[in-house]
């Protein structure tokens, strides 16, 4: 298991490096990411390179047996670049050209940026392709984190080129796809089309959706161009770029990105206002494992507080270790942090690190050393993966479209809706994969959940319907199946694309106001309420499991169940309270025959990674009280043989190697 973090020795006098090496060895660090933001030092003026410092850094790492994940520094172009090419600075939606002085402030479509970034990538790759310390390429850093879109004229031209490819050079096809007869938006020539810049009223939805697709593709083409340069120079060294899945950052369609990389890596940060951030870690980890089709690498998380939220919460005792080992449980084969040594100066001086400002006489340092020991003990877990009977559909087009303006409700957040359904499964210890809606091998699952699939293509809806017909169980959340890939409403009643498989027809939507709730009765716990959403359903084959107890829809079905072909399709046409959702999903997964990974008391997270020779049962205590669970094998973190019962310490973790 690789262990380490971002290492920025250029921020420190070289005398400090020796101490870094000594302490890295003490903590069990095996790999660090270097050079991520080093462009200004590596290329002090255009085309003039100075690799002397990087030579010394890599040599020092090599001498100390620490591997390097060497980054292309292209996320932070230097000042000289923007002085020479001010047109490469991005323009925001309101037409303001941004200035340099932070990082990732460049126009993704700028030819000068592309040229300059490939030149430094090529120079770096040429110089270090055979350096023995370099084991991985770190392409750029978190594409789309700060510059998901640029609205300048160069980007406009690139957008038009992308659109001409998407619509086969057929402007009428674009006009029809975008529905431009509405509000007099018809385009007569390609050059009339602009990025969706700030405008007086609601912009065209399909225009915005295509723009998001374009922006993701545009950044991807920068990434693959750099990857190509690295591959040419060093075909044997795998290339990754660090992904980032946040509730608020969703610029990239990672289903399209994943196949372009040799290895997937993710950055994960806790939100201070999330009372159950451990669920976010699990969800993210499962998503990453699904994108990777196996194990992945945690490129960044934090030892303590970050510095970019309104108030930055420190981690509670034991929380950092639980976080890191939970990432491993959900498929990470290496753990790293931002960053090695806490910065004294600069924008991230208040961000935690492996080696804090206080130095080694600190709780964080002791925890970092402990984690190094833990990861050594888990070495054999590497390469094992999780086998799930349940899949949740995750789709960036659906996410982007759902969160466009002028929806029936502006209160719907994709990641929240998915997490609502993920949570009960997580609590029950049921392993979950994330899948694309058009996944061609759905039959490997017993249960497929589509909590939020506002946009779905006809082909993907047919795919999910076929899965049901051939005996699977499908559960669909409200406001799904509403529009096609062009954001056109499926006519004839909602939820258009899923009407037949669900056996229902909705003639009108009744979204609820913030704070408004409605009661539910039927086969649901007493005093059930729901919020966010309701709709007037007519049954066309399904049976009502629960109905509205009050309000304008009193007596109408709210949750339905439909035998379709050899399978069953559930529709949750509202947003029940979490207890009721838990009860419903419990019934749904039980009827589908999906089983928990292992028996464990409430509050213990359970994940099983399956290897070729053994399985690894992860038990993580989130109650603070600890617990006992049945198990057989060896507890790897302590090396203790387990016969019958394993003890999970309060706030701690147990990992049992189970015999086959
Ligand atoms: C991101 C970046 C890092 C650092 C961290 C701070 O993940 O990739 O360079 O800024 O955030 O949390």
Pairing mode, if any, of strands 627-635 and 604-610?
Answer: unpaired
Per-residue pLDDT tens digits for 372-420: 999 999 999 999 999 999 999 999 999 999 999 999 999 999 999 999 9
Q: Whose CA is nearest to atom 11 of ligand 1?
A: 338
Task: Please write the tens of the pLDDT for every residue from 72-109.
Answer: 999 999 999 999 999 999 999 999 999 999 999 999 99
For residue 442, pLDDT beyond 90:
yes
| 244 CA from centroid of ligand 1 (Å) | 10
Atom of ligand 1 nearest to the CA of 306: 12
Measure CA of the first residue to CA of the last residue in the chain; give whole Å: 23
Give the domain ranges of the chain: 390-592, 604-659
| Residue 308 CA, ligand 1 centroid: distance in Å | 9
Residue of the nearest CA to atom 12 in ligand 1? 306
Distance CA 128, CA 121 (A): 11
Confidence of residue 111 (pLDDT cuts 50, 70, 90): very high
DSSP state for residue 501 in the 8-state scheme: H
- Give CA–CA dist 238/441, Å, rounded: 28
Q: Kind of pairing, strands 627-635 and 390-393?
A: unpaired
pLDDT band at 247 (very low <50, low <70, confident <90, very high): confident
**Catalytic annotation on 260?**
no
From 72, 246, 266, 300, give the residue whose CB has the most ligand 1 atoms within 8 Å, as the site to mutate: 300
Cα separation values, 337 from 31, 103, 281, Å: 11, 19, 14
Residues with CB under 6 A from ligand 1: 141-142, 267, 269, 300, 306, 338, 348, 351
> For residue 267, which atom of ligand 1 is closest to its CA?
7
Residue nearest to atom 3 of ligand 1 (CA): 338
pLDDT of residue 98: 98
**Who's near 361: CB < 8 A, 6+ residues apart?**
none
User: Which positions ≥6 away from 179 have C-beta within 8 Å?
Assistant: 204, 206, 486, 488
CA of 339 to the centre of ligand 1 (A): 8
For residue 342, the CA-to-ligand 1 centroid distance in Å is: 13
**Atom of ligand 1 minimally distant from the CA of 244:** 7
pLDDT band at 191, cuts 50/70/90? very high
Mean pLDDT over each residue of the chain, to the nearest integer: 98
Is it the case that residue 248 has pLDDT exceeding 90? Answer: no
Residue nearest to atom 5 of ligand 1 (CA): 338
Give the count of beta carbons closer than 10 Å to the beta carbon of residue 175. 16
* Strand-by-strand arrangement of the 653-658 sheet: 604-610, 615-621, 653-658, 627-635, 640-648
CA-based nearest residue to 26, from 65, 57, 53: 65
Torsions phi, psi for 550 (to 5 deg): -155, -175
37 has a pLDDT exceeding 90: yes
- Quote the CA–CA distance of 587 and 559 in Å, as a whole number: 13
DSSP state of 148: S
Q: What is the pLDDT of residues 328-370, one digit of tens each?
A: 999 999 999 999 999 999 999 999 999 999 999 999 999 999 9
Q: State how far the alpha carbon of 161 is from the alpha carbons of 132, 152, 172, 218, 437, in Å.
A: 42, 14, 15, 11, 28
Cα–ligand 1 centroid distance for 141 (angstroms): 9
Measured in degrees and rounded to the nearest 5, phi and psi for residue 28 equal 80, 20
* Whole-number percent of the chain with pLDDT over 70: 100
Is 142 part of the annotated catalytic residue set? yes
What average pLDDT does the segment 25-33 reach? 98
Task: Give 182's contacts (C-beta < 8 A, 6+ positions apart).
Answer: 204
Ligand 1 center to 338 CA (angstroms): 6
**pLDDT at 376 (0 to 100):** 98
Local structure of 340: helix, strand or coil: coil
φ, ψ for residue 335 (rounded to 5)?
-130, 125
What's the rounded mean pLDDT across residues 508-536? 97
Atom 9 (ligand 1) nearest CA? 338
Q: d(Cα 212, Cα 201) in Å, to the nearest integer?
A: 19
**Taking Cα atoms as reference points, which of 164, 401, 385, 409 lies closest to residue 289?**
385
CA-302 nearest atom, ligand 1: 12
- 460 and 484 Cβ atoms separated by less than 8 Å: no
Q: How confident is the model at residue 311 (pLDDT cuts 50, 70, 90)?
A: very high
Instruction: Find the helix or strand (DSSP H, E) in which 568 lies.
Output: strand 567-572
- Kindly tell me the burial class for residue 316, based on how many C-beta atoms sit within 10 Å of its own C-beta (0-12, 13-18, 19 or more): exposed
- Cβ–Cβ contacts within 10 Å for residue 529, how many? 17
Average pLDDT over every residue of 41-52: 98
SS3 for 44-58 is CECCECCCHHHHHHH
pLDDT at 447: 98
CA of 379 to the centre of ligand 1 (A): 27
Report the separation in Å between the CA atom of 220 and the middle of ligand 1, taken as the mean of its atom positions. Answer: 19
| From 43, 218, 300, 605, the catalytic residue | 300
> Based on the number of CB atoms within 10 Å of its own CB, is 304 exposed (0-12), middle (13-18) or buried (19 or more)?
buried
pLDDT of residue 385: 96
* Separation between Cα atoms, residue 551 and residue 208, nearest integer Å: 35
In the predicted model, is pLDDT for residue 660 greater than 90?
A: no
Mean pLDDT of 37-44: 98
Best mutation site among 37, 242, 348 for ligand 1, i.e. most ligand atoms within 8 A of its Cβ? 348
Protein residue with least CA distance to atom 4, ligand 1: 338
In a 10 Å sphere around its CB, with 0-12 CB exposed, 13-18 middle and 19+ buried, how is residue 522 labelled? middle
Which of 75, 142, 354 for mutating ligand 1's site (highest number of atoms within 8 Å of CB)? 142
Domain 390-592: assigned CATH number: 3.40.50.880
Residue 49's closest CA among 134, 119, 141?
Answer: 119
Banded model confidence at residue 245, pLDDT cuts 50, 70, 90: confident
Secondary structure (3-state) at 511: coil
The confidence score (pLDDT) of residue 430 equals 98
- What does the alpha-carbon distance between residue 332 and residue 2 come to, in Å, rounded to a whole number? 10
Q: Is 162 left (phi over 0), alpha (psi -120 to 50) or beta?
A: alpha
Residues 6+ apart with CB under 8 A from 609: 329, 331, 381, 384, 385, 386, 615, 616, 618
Helix (H) or strand (E) segment spanning residue 123: helix 111-128
Listed range (235-249, 430-444, 476-490) with the worst mean pLDDT: 235-249
Residue 499 has pLDDT above 90, yes or no: yes
Q: Return the best residue to mutate from 338, 340, 350 for the ligand 1 pocket (most ligand atoms within 8 A of CB).
A: 338
Contact between 391 and 422 under an 8 Å Cβ cutoff? The reply is no
Measured CA to CA, the distance from residue 68 to residue 378 in angstroms comes to: 21
pLDDT category of residue 246 using cuts at 50, 70 and 90: confident
Instruction: Say whether domain 604-659 belongs to CATH 1.10.3720.10.
Output: no
Q: Which atom of ligand 1 is the closest one to the Cα of 36?
A: 9
Helix (H, G, I), strand (E, B) or coil at 576: strand
Question: Do strands 2-7 and 31-34 pair parallel, antiparallel, or not at all (unpaired)?
Answer: parallel
213 CA to centre of own chain = 17
Q: Which pLDDT band holds residue 249 (cuts at 50, 70, 90)?
A: confident
Find the radius of gyration of the CA atoms of the chain.
26
Helices (H), 129-204: 153-166, 171-178
Query: Would you say residue 656 has pLDDT above 90?
Result: yes
- Looking at residue 483, what DSSP letter applies? B
Atom of ligand 1 minimally distant from the CA of 141: 8
Atom of ligand 1 nearest to the CA of 308: 12
Largest CA distance in the chain: 76
Give residue-wise pLDDT tens across range 419-435: 999 999 999 999 999 99
């Amino acid at each position: 298991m690789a262990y380490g973090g971002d290492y920025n020795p250029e921020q420190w006098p070289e005398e400090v490096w020796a101490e870094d090496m000594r302490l890295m060895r003490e903590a069990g660090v095996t790999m660090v990411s270097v050079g991520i933001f080093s462009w200004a030092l590596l290329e002090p003026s255009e085309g003039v390179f100075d690799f002397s410092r990087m030579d010394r850094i890599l040599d020092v790492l090599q001498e100390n047996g620490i591997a390097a994940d060497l980054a292309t520094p292209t996320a932070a172009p230097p000042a000289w670049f923007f002085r020479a090419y001010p047109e490469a600075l991005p323009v925001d939606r309101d037409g303001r050209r941004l200035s340099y002085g932070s990082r990732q402030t460049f126009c993704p479509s700028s030819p000068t940026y592309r040229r300059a970034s490939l030149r430094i990538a090529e120079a770096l790759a040429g110089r270090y392709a055979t350096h023995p310390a370099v084991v991985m390429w770190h392409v750029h850093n978190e594409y789309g984190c700060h510059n998901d879109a640029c609205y300048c004229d160069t980007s406009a031209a690139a957008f038009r080129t992308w659109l001409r490819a998407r619509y086969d050079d057929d402007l009428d096809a674009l006009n029809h796809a975008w529905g431009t007869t509405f509000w007099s938006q018809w385009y007569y020539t390609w050059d009339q089309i602009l990025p969706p810049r700030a405008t007086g009223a609601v912009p065209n939805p399909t225009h915005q959706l295509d723009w998001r697709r374009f922006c993701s593709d545009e950044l991807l083409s920068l990434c693959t161009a750099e990857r190509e340069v690295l591959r040419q120079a060093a075909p044997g060294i795998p290339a990754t770029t660090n992904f980032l899945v946040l509730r608020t950052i969703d610029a990239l369609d990672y289903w399209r990105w994943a196949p372009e990389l040799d290895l997937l890596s993710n950055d994960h940060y806790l939100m201070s206002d999330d009372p159950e951030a451990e669920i976010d870690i699990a969800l993210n980890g499962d998503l990453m494992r699904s994108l990777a089709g196996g194990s992945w690498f945690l490129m960044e998380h934090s030892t303590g507080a970050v510095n970019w939220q309104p108030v930055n919460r420190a981690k509670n005792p034991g929380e950092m270790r639980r976080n890191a080992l939970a990432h491993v449980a959900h498929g990470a084969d290496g753990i790293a942090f931002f960053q090695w040594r806490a910065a004294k100066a600069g924008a991230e001086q208040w961000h935690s690190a492996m080696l804090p400002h206080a130095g080694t006489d600190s709780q964080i340092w002791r925890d970092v050393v402990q984690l190094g020991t833990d990861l050594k003990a888990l070495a054999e877990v590497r390469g094992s993966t999780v086998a799930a009977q349940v899949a949740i559909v995750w789709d960036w087009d659906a996410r982007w479209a759902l969160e466009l303006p002028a929806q029936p409700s502006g209160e719907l957040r994709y990641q929240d809706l998915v997490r609502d359904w993920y949570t009960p499964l997580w609590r029950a210890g049921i392993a979950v994969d994330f899948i694309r809606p058009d996944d061609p091998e759905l039959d490997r699952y017993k249960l497929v959940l589509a909590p939020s699939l506002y946009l779905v293509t006809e082909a993907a809806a047919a795919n999910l319907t076929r899965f049901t017909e051939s005996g699977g169980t499908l559960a669909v959340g409200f406001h799904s199946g509403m529009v096609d890939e062009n954001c056109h409403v499926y006519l004839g009643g909602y939820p258009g694309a899923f009407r037949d498989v669900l056996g229902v027809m909705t003639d009108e939507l009744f979204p609820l106001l913030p704070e408004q709730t409605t009661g539910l009765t039927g086969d649901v716990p007493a005093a059930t309420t729901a919020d966010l959403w309701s709709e007037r359903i007519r049954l066309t084959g399904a049976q009502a499991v629960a109905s509205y107890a009050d309000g304008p829809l009193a007596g109408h079905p709210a949750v339905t169940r439909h035998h379709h072909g050899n399978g069953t399709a559930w529709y949750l046409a509202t947003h029940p309270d979490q207890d009721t959702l838990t009860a419903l999903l419990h019934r749904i997964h039980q009827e589908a025959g999906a089983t928990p990974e292992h028996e464990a008391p409430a509050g213990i997270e359970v994940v099983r990674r399956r290897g070729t020779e053994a399985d690894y049962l992860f038990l993580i205590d989130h109650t603070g009280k600890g617990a006992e669970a049945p198990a057989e094998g060896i507890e790897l973190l302590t090396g203790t043989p387990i016969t019958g019962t394993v003890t999970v310490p309060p706030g701690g973790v147990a990992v049992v190697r189970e015999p086959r």
